Amino acid sequence: MTDQAENPEQEPFPKIDTSVPHSARIWNYWLGGKDNYEVDRLAGDAFREIFPGIETGARAARYFLARAVRHLAAEEGIRQFLDIGTGLPNVDNTHQIAQRVAPESRIVYVDNDPLVLAHARALLTSTPEGVTNYVDANLREPGTIVREAGKTLDFDRPVALMLMGILGHIEDHDEARSIVRQLVDALPPGSYLVQYDSTDTSEDYVRAIQQYNDGGSVPYILRSPEQIARYFDGLELLEPGVASCSRWRPDAAALGLPAEVHQYGGVALKR
């Protein structure tokens, strides 16, 4: 493994606020990670008391990411991945899965969370043949994301755009769709969109999210599966379309997961 070049002009990391629960750290806690604080564990436990299925959903979403990346690298020949809102490092991140299949793969992670920035060195590893890089940018700045990612990725060749559990943080659905459209418009034909988010398909989940949002954290908006499907407008969905993450081409790793979780996603081709 080799470290790619760091950005010598990078600003110092902002102070990490450990007084308010943070979605990436709570998600890390539910997945069994250690990059979280007591405030996150308390919020995660309170959430789980209302909606006990959250850890199962978190695992299903993680396995969906792994299957989608593996499929695109192994079956569709994709060698470039733009992973926006990557969150905290965990087992089998996008670059590890892609480069296991194709060592020459190039991956750009995008986030603007200070804790994720602090862990960027863990993400900035790569096979000698490939490249892994990191962009500090906001999802609401698609032009900046494309410009900065273009320093590592070749936007004349297919790219897999990954928006995993991040669009729920855009409170207005039309704005979220507009961001997706701008990002997809920057991709050449032969590219793919990989996306999932949590849905409003459980009353308990809706109650748990409302409690979380009322606690002062950055709000997360649950949407219907039909609303999530709108992110793929104009693209060609791969089978089985937009589905519960545990139903999207399950493999041995997904055994033991329920057929239905409340995270829905899909993978679609740009013709």
Domain annotation covers residue 46:
yes
Per DSSP, the chain holds a count of helices (H) and strands (E) of 10, 10
Query: Which pTM was predicted?
Result: 0.90
Compute the distance between CA of residue 81 and CA of residue 216 in angstroms, rounded to an integer. 33
What are the residue ranges in the chain where pLDDT is below 70?
A: 1-15
Q: How many domains is the chain partitioned into structurally?
A: 1
Domain annotation covers residue 195:
yes
* pLDDT of amino acid 87: 80
Domain annotation covers residue 132:
yes
Domain annotation covers residue 112:
yes
Of the candidates 189, 85, 98, 200, the residue with the CA atom closest to the CA atom of residue 137: 85
Which residue range is the domain that position 94 belongs to? 23-270
The residues, any chain, with a CB within 8 Å of residue 133's CB and separated by 6 or more, are 4, 106, 107, 108, 109, 124, 151, 152
Compute the distance between CA of residue 74 and CA of residue 257 in angstroms, rounded to an integer. 24
Domain annotation covers residue 266:
yes
CATH number at residue 47: 3.40.50.150
Q: How far apart are the first and last CA of the chain?
A: 35
Domain annotation covers residue 15:
no
* pLDDT of amino acid 91: 73
DSSP state letters, 152-178: TS-TTS--EEEEES-GGGSS-HHHHHH
Domain annotation covers residue 6:
no
- Tokens 């829905």 belong to 264
* pLDDT of amino acid 14: 53
Domain annotation covers residue 4:
no
Retrieve residue 57's tokens: 């959903």
* pLDDT of amino acid 1: 34
